[in-house]
Amino acid sequence: MHPVISVSRLSKTYASGHVALKAIDLEIRRGEIFALLGPNGAGKTTLISIICGLVNPTEGSVRADGHDIVRDYRAARAKIGLVPQELTADAFETVWATVSFSRGLFGRGPNPAYIEKILRDLSLWDKRDSKLMTLSGGMKRRVLIAKALSHEPQILFLDEPTAGVDVELRRDMWNVVRALRDSGVTIILTTHYLEEAEEMADRIGVISRGELILVEEKTALMRRLGKKVLTVQLPAALARLPDSLANYQLALSEDGTELVYSYDAAIEDSGITALLQDLAREGIAFKDLHTEQSSLEDIFVSLVKDNR
Amino acid sequence: MNFHAIRAIYVFEMARAGRTLLQSVVSPVLSTSLYFVVFGSAIGSRMADIDGVSYGAFIVPGLIMLTLLMQSISNASFAIYFPRFTGTIYEVLSAPVSFVEILTGYVGAAATKSVILGLIILATAAVFVPLQINHPIWMLGFLVLTAVTFSLFGFIIGIWADGFEKLQLVPLLIVTPLTFLGGSFYSIDMLPPLWRTVTLFNPVVYLISGFRWSFYGVSDVSIGVSLTMTLAFLALCLITVWWIFRTGYRLKS
Ligand SMILES: Nc1ncnc2c1ncn2[C@@H]1O[C@H](COP(=O)(O)OP(=O)(O)O)[C@@H](O)[C@H]1O
Ligand SMILES: [Mg+2]
């Protein structure tokens, strides 16, 4: 199947001379949730802004649903909805008016039933006649999402959608995002909350200093780079590690009641069997044990560090 | 053509005007009335007729033009400057609209507002002086053409301005003097020859002259020249806007 978005050799140098994107190649698959991860200033917003027509590319091209975003901008943009990073709103407009405005702007005829549905899904229905300036930041964010969805886009960009957003909105938002994905909408989001990418995304792209370091299935990424940690709880404190265990990646907790073993989850022989046998041979009993997957955050931090 | 988009922008802009109806109508009507009281009645009673038109009546077209220019520029410049300032412009820039559609929406709304206001001023004038309109169609034509042209000019200013000062500077520093020196209150025939030549470089002269002709059938320059100059200025503005959207000047980085 053709990618719904294909970015090729895309570069951006701002007028200040700052190079924000360096020859980015990226393909987004139809119907996936794609998370773009990167530290502040990595170029996430720049990339999204170029695709949506807010920033001129310096080099390279982008196709959205087969349409070149510059030459065939009408067809391309009609497919795209954008929730920007910054909270901006027409203070004196009502929720209903501003969402209806967006639909018209994107070339769609009025459809009050559809707008009602969006507002209900985003818990905005009670606020439909409120002026935007009377709404809280979280509510404004909902309005921006409603505006982006007003013209029934096939591709939705969410630029750091949960920055400064409360738990309730985050939950609502993910429900909406999942429902959209189920209805075939492709979603591209950027986020600082890495657990979110881990929770939501099908694929993850890591961007740093204008370069796309890697793009991978989330599960594959977790498997490939995922370190696991086995914690063994001891019934009695151990003064020090026996010498026979010296060649394991093993650490003793401060109070001596826990052994922490790090291993690579991707390798066939994790070494756990041998470790447990060696522990038994040393006469060390254990009360309990559990394993933990290292978080995407750990993976991410190590990736960006390697890239420097 | 994305007609839904044009309609959305137009309706949005008209609704914005509706919210500030009082201030956008009361202040121009008040200041025009003051002009009539001071220039029309008080001073005008001591002035000789110009080209057979009483002084009070003579200044009506110029006063309407003054309001029309100021309102067109401020309406349109504010309409595009404000979304740039607050950041809501992102939506228009990311929408499947061409610059022609954006212009039609914003400039159409700004021009509509100032034409309505021009007609209100005309009605106000009728309270003070007996009106005579020889060529009503031409009069309306000039009104609309001027409103559109200067709304376009205002749109350009709204994109160029990077602060509220600049937004107000141009109407204040350029348009007001040009209008006052453009024959609002006198016929340029009354000027010494050298100044008459200088004045012919003032585009507002052609607007006021043509507009006055539609009222009283008398003009400083021929109606054909007036029309040509106005259309030329309109074309210049259109080319500038086309260039702005092509390059993304002040709109896209
Ligand atoms: N309009 C601009 N002019 C100059 N530099 C910019 C502009 N916008 C962003 N930048 C710079 O480009 C880099 C990438 O910014 P951005 O895409 O916003 O990053 P992110 O969204 O990943 O935080 C940053 O260093 C930022 O300072
Ligand atoms: Mg950003």
Q: How many domains does chain B have?
A: 1
**Contact B253/A56, CB-based, under 8 Å?**
yes
Ligand 1 pocket residue status of A40, Cβ below 6 Å: yes
Q: pLDDT value at position A304?
A: 64
Query: Which is it for the CA torsion A296, A301, A303, A304, positive or negative?
Result: positive
Report how far residue A36's alpha carbon sits from residue A213's, in angstroms, rounded to the nearest whole number. 11
For residue A308, pLDDT over 70 is answered with no
Q: Any residues with CB less than 8 A from the CB of B239 and at least 6 apart, and which?
A: none
Q: pLDDT value at position B231?
A: 93
Q: pLDDT value at position A297?
A: 59
Q: pLDDT value at position A196?
A: 76
Amino acid found at B7: R
Report how far residue A31's alpha carbon sits from residue B187's, in angstroms, rounded to the nearest whole number. 70
Instruction: Give the residue-averaged pLDDT of A156-169.
Output: 87
Q: Whose CA is nearest to atom 1 of ligand 1?
A: B253
Between the alpha carbon of residue B60 and those of residues B26, B40, B120, B158, the distances in Å are 18, 9, 12, 29
Query: Which is it for the CA torsion A132, B158, B228, B177, positive or negative?
Result: positive
Tens of pLDDT, residues B108-158: 999 999 999 999 999 988 888 888 899 999 999 999 999 999 999 999 999
Report how far residue B124's alpha carbon sits from residue B139's, in angstroms, rounded to the nearest whole number. 16
Structure tokens at B15: 């609704």
pLDDT category at A9 given cuts 50, 70, 90 is: very high
A186 neighbors A28 (Cβ within 8 angstroms)? yes
Instruction: Give the residue-averaged pLDDT of B28-33.
Output: 86
B25 in any annotated domain: yes
Ligand 1 pocket residue status of A197, Cβ below 6 Å: no
Q: pLDDT value at position B150?
A: 94
A36 neighbors A47 (Cβ within 8 angstroms)? yes
A143 neighbors A95 (Cβ within 8 angstroms)? yes
DSSP A227-244: EEEEEEE-SS--SS--GG
For residue A82, pLDDT over 90 is answered with yes
| Residue A91: its H or E element | none
Overall residue count recorded for chain B in this entry: 253
Overall residue count recorded for chain A in this entry: 308
Q: Any residues with CB less than 8 A from the CB of B50 and at least 6 apart, and which?
A: B58, B186, B187, B190
Q: Any residues with CB less than 8 A from the CB of A299 and at least 6 apart, and which?
A: A221, A222, A225, A226
Q: Which range is most confident: A147-156, A192-201, A238-247?
A: A147-156
Report how far residue A234's alpha carbon sits from residue A286's, in angstroms, rounded to the nearest whole number. 5
The DSSP secondary-structure symbol of A271 reads S
pLDDT category at B28 given cuts 50, 70, 90 is: confident
Q: Of A82, A93, A107, which is closest to B4 when you measure between CB atoms?
A: A107
**Contact A52/B94, CB-based, under 8 Å?**
yes
Most B CBs within 10 A among A87, A105, A150, hence the mutation to make, goes to: A105
Phi, psi of A71, deg, nearest 5: -70, -35
Nearest to B181 by CA among B201, B156, B159, B166: B201
Q: pLDDT value at position A295?
A: 59
- Residue A121 Cα, gap to closest chain B Cα (Å): 22
Report how far residue B28's alpha carbon sits from residue B20's, in angstroms, rounded to the nearest whole number. 13
A107 neighbors A151 (Cβ within 8 angstroms)? yes
Ligand 1 pocket residue status of B253, Cβ below 6 Å: yes
More confident residue, A129 or A275: A129
Structure tokens at B158: 């709204």
Residue that is written with structure tokens 């985050």 in the block: A170
Average pLDDT, chain A: 89
For residue A17, pLDDT over 90 is answered with yes
Is the fold of A5-223 the same as that of A227-307? no
Instruction: Give the residue-averaged pLDDT of A149-167.
Output: 91
Give residue A279 CA to ligand 2 midpoint distance, Å: 50
**Beta bridge mates, A165:** none
B218 neighbors B52 (Cβ within 8 angstroms)? yes
Q: Of A77, A93, A109, which is closest to B95 when you measure between CB atoms?
A: A77
Report how far residue B155's alpha carbon sits from residue A122's, in angstroms, rounded to the nearest whole number. 36
Ligand 1 pocket residue status of A46, Cβ below 6 Å: yes
Q: Ligand 1 atom closest to Cα of A39?
A: 22
Task: Spell out which residues of chain B touch residue A80, defining contact as CB-CB under 8 Å.
Answer: 94
A259 neighbors A231 (Cβ within 8 angstroms)? yes
**Which ligand does the CA of B253 lie closest to?**
1
Report how far residue A18's alpha carbon sits from residue B218's, in angstroms, rounded to the nearest whole number. 60
Q: pLDDT value at position A226?
A: 63
Homologous superfamily in CATH for domain A5-223: P-loop containing nucleotide triphosphate hydrolases (3.40.50.300)
Determine whether domain A227-307 maps to CATH 3.30.160: no
- Residue A211 Cα, gap to closest chain B Cα (Å): 20
Ligand 1 pocket residue status of A273, Cβ below 6 Å: no
Structure tokens at A185: 């909408």
With a threshold of 0.95, does the pTM exceed it?
no
Q: Of A74, A101, A106, which is closest to B12 when you measure between CB atoms?
A: A101
Task: Spell out which residues of chain A touch residue B84, defining contact as CB-CB under 8 Å.
Answer: none
Find the domain containing B241 and state its range.
3-247
pLDDT category at B177 given cuts 50, 70, 90 is: confident
Q: Which long-range contacts (CB under 8 A, 24 or more apart) does B230-239 make?
A: B230/B142, B230/B145, B230/B146, B230/B149, B230/B203, B230/B206, B231/B145, B233/B149, B233/B153, B233/B203, B234/B145, B234/B148, B234/B149, B234/B152, B237/B149, B237/B152, B237/B153, B237/B155, B237/B156, B238/B152
Task: Spell out which residues of chain B touch residue A88, defining contact as CB-CB under 8 Å.
Answer: 86-88, 90
The DSSP secondary-structure symbol of A202 reads S
Residue A16 sits at the chain B interface (C-beta within 8 Å): no
Q: Which of A45, A52, A82, A212 to mutate to test the pocket of ligand 1 (most atoms within 8 A of CB)?
A: A45
For residue A296, pLDDT over 60 is answered with no
A299 neighbors A222 (Cβ within 8 angstroms)? yes
Structure tokens at B77: 């410049």
Report how far residue A8's alpha carbon sits from residue A6's, in angstroms, rounded to the nearest whole number. 6
Residue A240 sits at the chain B interface (C-beta within 8 Å): no
Instruction: Give A245: exposed, middle or buried? Use CB within 10 Å, 0-12, 13-18, 19+.
Output: middle
Ligand 1 pocket residue status of A20, Cβ below 6 Å: yes
Other beta carbons less than 10 A from residue A34's beta carbon? 25
Q: From B83, which residue of chain A is nearest by alpha-carbon distance?
A: A90
Residue A157 sits at the chain B interface (C-beta within 8 Å): no
Nearest to A297 by CA among A161, A165, A192: A192
Domain boundaries along the sequence of chain A: 5-223, 227-307
Q: Taking each helix axis as running N to C, give the angle between helix B99-128 and helix B223-247, from 0 to 180 degrees, rounded to the nearest 10.
A: 140
For residue A294, pLDDT over 70 is answered with no
Query: Which is it for the CA torsion B203, B208, B214, B217, positive or negative?
Result: negative
pLDDT category at A15 given cuts 50, 70, 90 is: very high
For residue B31, pLDDT over 90 is answered with no
Nearest to A101 by CA among B159, B109, A93: A93
The DSSP secondary-structure symbol of A128 reads T
Q: Of B8, B248, B252, which is closest to A101 when you measure between CB atoms?
A: B8
**Which ligand does the CA of A21 lie closest to?**
1
B102 in any annotated domain: yes
Q: Whose CA is nearest to atom 4 of ligand 1?
A: A14
For residue A307, pLDDT over 60 is answered with no
**Contact B19/A92, CB-based, under 8 Å?**
yes
B253 in any annotated domain: no
Q: pLDDT value at position A299?
A: 62
For residue B5, pLDDT over 90 is answered with yes
B252 in any annotated domain: no
Tens of pLDDT, residues A57-74: 999 999 999 999 999 999
Average pLDDT, chain B: 90
B83 neighbors B94 (Cβ within 8 angstroms)? no
Tens of pLDDT, residues B193-235: 888 888 888 888 998 999 999 999 988 888 899 899 889 999 9
Pairing of strands A33-37, A186-191: parallel
